Amino acid sequence: MKKITVYIALVFALLTVNTAFADFKVYSYDNQYLGYVLDIIPNHMIYNDQIQAYYLLEAKNNGWYDLSFELVYFESDNCTGTPYIRGELVKPNVVMNDKIYKIKNEIKEISVSSFRSCHNVTYVCGCVFSSPVVYRVMEVIEISLPFSQPIQGPLRIEHEASGQTKAVVIPLMN
């Protein structure tokens, strides 16, 4: 526990210098570029400039990281057609289910009849049917990520200033 506290203190010291979060690049243990770290508490908010999207990473107990799971809704009763996510909650614009989605447009209301859900431990996904319910939603489109999943920790954060690179390894786990 003391080691984790020391690592957290070290990260905060590095992150509180007079530099914006967007100056810190984050990499996986196997050196996959994940994007720019914007926030590290409670999850890691990352902006990936390659796909021009934000996403959340969740630390797992086994030292690995996953994208946050969200329910993906459909107007059909069989999880086909245009995918949507609930719009009244503040979210990053990349969501994971058994596919990866990016928010496409603004909030609108639809009658939802089914949704895809994935178990957050087993990652088994399936279609859940429901009586039609009206939700405020945002349309999403399926995308490909420029890195593979799951993401192996510990994460490495690099900061470049005046031609020098400083790196910190973050072994944060739940």
Q: Find out whether 63 and 30 touch, Cβ atoms under 8 Å.
A: no
- What mean pLDDT comes out for the span 90-119? 80
Do residues 22 and 58 share a domain? yes
Residues 136 and 154 in one domain: no
Do 125 and 82 sit in the same domain of this protein? Answer: yes
Task: Tell me which of 4-8, 141-145, 154-158 is least confident.
Answer: 4-8
Rg (the chain; Cα; Å): 18
User: For residue 97, what pLDDT is reported?
Assistant: 67
* Chain segment 14-61, per-residue pLDDT in tens: 444 434 445 889 999 999 999 998 887 667 888 999 988 888 888 887
Of the candidate ranges 32-36, 74-78, 92-96, 151-155, the one whose mean pLDDT is the lowest: 92-96
Please give the model's pTM, rounded to 2 decimal places: 0.69
The verdict on 78 and 126 lying in the same domain is yes
The number of domains in the chain is: 2
Same domain, 51 and 110: no
Q: Are residues 48 and 78 in the same domain?
A: no
Residues 53, 93 within the same domain: no
Alpha-carbon distances of 152 from 34, 142, 167, rounded to whole Å: 11, 23, 17
Could you tell me if 60 and 81 lie in one domain? no
25 and 76 housed in the same domain: no
Question: What's the domain range around 55?
Answer: 2-66+148-170
| Residue 172: pLDDT over 90 | no
Task: Based on the fold, state whether residues 52 and 108 are members of the same structural domain.
Answer: no
What is the pLDDT averaged over residues 104-133? 84
Mean pLDDT of the chain: 77
Q: Which pLDDT does position 10 carry in this prediction?
A: 40
